[in-house]
A and B are shown apart, each in its own frame.
Chain A
Amino acid sequence: MKKTEPKILSKNLLKSPTGIQGFDEITGGGLPTGRPTLVCGGAGCGKTLFGMEFLVRGATQFKEPGVFMSFEETNEELTKNVASLGFDLEDLIRNKKIALDHVHVERSEIEETGEYDLEGLFVRLNYAIDSIGAKRVVLDTIESLFAGLPNQLILRAELRRLFRWLKEKGVTTIITGERGEETLTRQGLEEYVSDCVIMLDHRVNAQTSTRRLRVVKYRGSMHGTNEYPFLIDEAGFSVLPVTSLGLKHIVSNKRISSGITALDAMLEGKGYYRGSTVLVSGTAGVGKTSIAAHFAEAACKRGERVLYFCFEESPNQLMRNMRSIGIKLETWVKKGLLQFQATRPTFYGLEMHLAVTHKIVSVFKPDIVILDPINTFVVGDKDLEVNTMLMRIVDFLKANQITALFTSLTSSQGSLESSDARISSLIDTWLLLRDIELYGERNRGMYVLKSRGMANSSEIREFILTDHGVELREVYIGARGVLTGSARMAQEALEKAEVLSGRQDIELKKRDIERKRKVLEAQIIALQADFESEESEALKTIETRQDALKRLGQDNINMAESRKADNENINISNPKK
Chain B
Amino acid sequence: MKKKNTKTKSSTAKLDQIVSESARDKYILRLYITGTTNRSVLALTNLKKICEEYLEGRYELEVIDLYQMPNLAKDEQIIAAPTLIKKLPLPFRRIIGDMSNTEKVLLGLDLRKVK
Contact = CB atoms under 8 A, between A and B. Distances in A.
Contacts of B34: 119-120, 123
A124 B95 contact: no
Interface in B70-108: 70-71, 73-74, 77-83, 91-101, 104-105, 107-108
A126 B97 CA distance: 21
Contact of A120 (B78, B92, B98, B108): B78
A117 interface: yes
B32 interface: yes
A112 B91 CA distance: 16
A117 B39 contact: yes
Interface stretch (A99-107, A437-445, A493-501, A511-519): A99-107
B94 A123 contact: no
Contacts of A115: 39, 97-98, 100
A111 B106 CA distance: 10
Interface in A77-121: 101, 103-105, 109-121
Contact of B104 (A111, A118, A126): A111
Interface residues of B, number: 35
Contacts of B79: 103, 105, 118, 120-121, 124, 145
B107 A111 contact: yes
Given A111-B94, A111-B105, 7 more contacts: A109-B93, A111-B108, A112-B101, A113-B101, A114-B104, A119-B37, A119-B80
Interface residues of A, number: 24
A124 B74 contact: yes
Contact of B80 (A101, A120, A127): A120
A120 B108 CA distance: 19
Contacts of B43: 114
B67 interface: yes
B55 interface: no
Nearest to B98: A114
A149 B66 CA distance: 20
A128 interface: yes
A128 B71 CA distance: 8
Contact of A110 (B37, B81, B96, B100): B96
Contacts of A113: 95-101, 104-105, 108
25 contacts: A104-B77, A105-B79, A109-B94, A110-B94, A111-B95, A113-B96, A113-B101, A114-B43, A114-B46, A114-B99, A114-B101, A114-B104, A115-B39, A115-B97, A115-B98, A116-B39, A118-B80, A118-B81, A121-B80, A123-B66, A124-B70, A124-B73, A124-B78, A127-B73, A145-B79
A283 B108 CA distance: 76
Contacts of B100: 113-115
Contacts of A117: 39, 80-81
Nearest to B76: A120
Contacts of A104: 77
B43 to A, nearest CB: 8
A110 B101 CA distance: 14
B1 to A, nearest CB: 19
Contacts of B105: 111, 113
A120 B97 contact: no
Given A105-B79, A123-B34, A114 B97 contact: yes
A136 to B, nearest CB: 18
B66, B83, B100, B104, most chain A CB atoms within 10 A: B66
